[in-house]
Amino acid sequence: MIQSPLKYFIAYKPYGMLSQFTKEGNNTTLAELFSFPKDVYPVGRLDADSEGLLLITNDKKLNHYLLHPTFKHTRTYLAQVDGAVTDTAIAQLNKGVTITVEGKTYQTLPAQTEAVEPPAGIPDRVPPIRVRKSIPTSWIRLSITEGKNHQVRKMTAKVGFPTLRLIRVQIEELSLAGMKPSEVRELKQEEIFKLLKIRSSNF
């Protein structure tokens, strides 16, 4: 059997889209972004109400390497949160907080978090987030090496600042920079491995 050539794509998943190719309900899917080869699939996922970077490939070894908890990879998010985030909340996130994962108590690893100005170049969300006139919103940049279900949202809620908008902007050095929502780019294996800080010898 002839093996298909390895293919690597990055996509800027927009709000409301499912991280899959199979149609489900009224949500759009990755199939509507691009004519992908039939044997590729997303590495990990973003919830429908989250936006940002997805890696899509048919490289099963890379998929295992990025998703297995033994091999930690930094994932970076921009989160617009409800309220004016405090230094105390930032410190708590950087130390690690207790959340619930699959009904069990879980202590997150220390994050790298900072309050940031509203990011330039990030388009408005469609539809826009809810806004309360009496309560401001603020932005944080948060990097973690874990990928628990709804982890970032649970972390910010734990410290009193629920996430209103969540965008994954980087995996290691693989970045959304210069991309627009719904855009797809194909990269070469050497580009992907360099940006993800992976040596081919790891495989």
> Which residues belong to the active site?
47
Cα distance between the two ends of the chain? 22
Euclidean distance between CA atoms 67 and 52, whole angstroms: 17
Residue type, 2: I
Q: Is 93 helix (H, G, I), strand (E, B) or coil?
A: helix
If phi > 0 it is left, if psi is from -120 to 50 it is alpha, else beta; for residue 180 that is beta
Q: Which string of DSSP letters, residue by residue, matches 102-130?
A: TTEEEEPPPPEEEEEPPPTTPPPPSSPPP
